[in-house]
Amino acid sequence: MTERSEFVARWGRAAALSLVAGTVGGAAVLAGQAIAARNRQYAQPELGLALRATVGRPGAPALRLVLLGDSSALGVGVTSFEETVGGQLAHLLTEGPTGRRVHLSSVGVSGSRSTDLATQVARALLGERPDVAVILIGANDATGLARPADAAAYLGSAVRRLREAHVEVVVGTCPDLGAVRAVAAPLRQLLGWSGRRVARAQTAAVLDAGGTVVDLGTETGPVFRADAGTLCHDGYHPSADGYRVWAHALLPAVEAAATVASRHH
C-alpha cells in the first residue's frame, strides 16, 4: 500500500470522528488498526515486469491495449508478466479462432489516484494511438478518503480525453476493499464502505464520459472474500489468481471494445 502515512492520518481522523460521536472503544480500535496497517510490509512494484509486450500469433488482427491506473495496472503482488492482470487479459484475448495479436503497454503508476490520470492519459496517447484503454483506479482514492465526487470527476475527464482521441475505454471500478486481509474489522468494513462510495461515483462519471464500466467490487468481491488465495502475501494486493479473476471479469467488455475499435480501422 502506498502513501501509508497519509492513510494513517486520514483514518486516524475517522477514528476521532467516531470518538466525537461517543464510540470511545470503537475509535481506539480504529486508531490502533490504522497504525498497524501503516506498519505492515506491503508488496512493491517489480522493476523487472514488462511494461510493453506483444502476445499472440503473427498475422492475427492487431489490438493495441494500454493499461492506466494504480498498482493494479502494473501487477504489484506478482513476479512475472504472465501473472499480471494485463498479461492474463492479453493472453485471453489471443485465444480462440478470432484471437488477436495484442500489443500491450502500461502507463500505470503504483500509488496513483484519480488526480494522477491526466499525466497517464498524456503518456498513453504518445506515439501510435491505442485501440482500447483499460483503467484500474480507485483504491487509493478510497483509502485516502477522497471525496467520491472529486475522484470520479478526474476519472471522467480522463475517459473523455481518451474517447475524444478515438480510444475505446473500459474502467474497472474500485475493487471490494472489504475483502482485504491486511486490515482487521472494523476498519476493514469502513474501507469497504469507502470503496463502494467511490465505485458508485465512478460508474456514473464513466458512463457520462462515454466509457464502459466493469464493477469489480460486485463481480469479483465475493470471490476475494471467500478465497484468501486471491491476495498475495501482503493480504492487500491481488495474487496471480486474483488478477486472473479480474482479467476474466474485464474480458467481455474489453472484447466488445476491441470489436468496436476494429470497425474504425
Could you report the per-residue pLDDT of 171-199, keeping only the tens digit for each?
999 999 999 998 888 888 999 999 999 99
Residues 6+ apart with CB under 8 A from 87: 50, 53, 55, 75, 80, 81, 104
Q: Which run of H or of E encompasses 65?
A: strand 62-69
User: Is 70 exceeded by the pLDDT of residue 36?
Assistant: no
223 and 131 within one domain: yes
Q: Which of 72, 88, 169, 90 lies closest to 130 in space, CA to CA? A: 169
- C-alpha cell at position 151: 475522484
The CATH number given to whatever domain includes residue 217 is 3.40.50.1110
Count other C-beta atoms under 10 Å from residue 189's C-beta.
Answer: 13
Domain for residue 185, yes or no? yes
Backbone angles phi, psi at 213, to 5 degrees: -110, 135
Q: Which of 76, 75, 93 lies closest to 84 in space, CA to CA? A: 75
102 and 62 within one domain: yes
13 and 86 within one domain: no
202 and 154 within one domain: yes
Catalytic residue among 112, 215, 237, 239: 237
Domain for residue 14, yes or no? yes
98 and 9 within one domain: no
Catalytic residue among 71, 105, 110, 114: 71
227 and 135 within one domain: yes
Q: Is 185 exposed, middle or buried (0-12, 13-18, 19+ CB in 10 A)?
A: exposed
156 and 181 within one domain: yes
30-34, 89-93, 253-257: range with lowest mean pLDDT:
30-34
User: Residue 208 catalytic?
Assistant: no
Report the domain count for the chain. Answer: 2
191 and 96 within one domain: yes
Task: Dump pLDDT digits (tens) for 203-246.
Answer: 999 999 999 999 999 999 999 999 999 999 999 999 999 999 99
71 contacts 45 by C-beta, under 8 angstroms = yes
- C-alpha cell at position 53: 509486450
150 and 106 within one domain: yes
| 208, amino acid identity | D
Domain for residue 44, yes or no? no
Domain for residue 192, yes or no? yes
Task: Dump pLDDT digits (tens) for 255-265.
Answer: 999 999 988 76
Domain for residue 13, yes or no? yes
Q: Is 215 exposed, middle or buried (0-12, 13-18, 19+ CB in 10 A)?
A: buried
4 and 59 within one domain: no
Domain for residue 23, yes or no? yes
41 contacts 234 by C-beta, under 8 angstroms = yes
98 and 5 within one domain: no
63 and 26 within one domain: no
User: Residue 215 catalytic?
Assistant: no
Determine the structural domain holding residue 24 and report its residue range.
Answer: 1-39
Q: How many residues does the chain have?
A: 265
Catalytic residue among 110, 194, 234, 239: 234
Domain for residue 168, yes or no? yes
User: Residue 227 catalytic?
Assistant: no
Domain for residue 47, yes or no? no
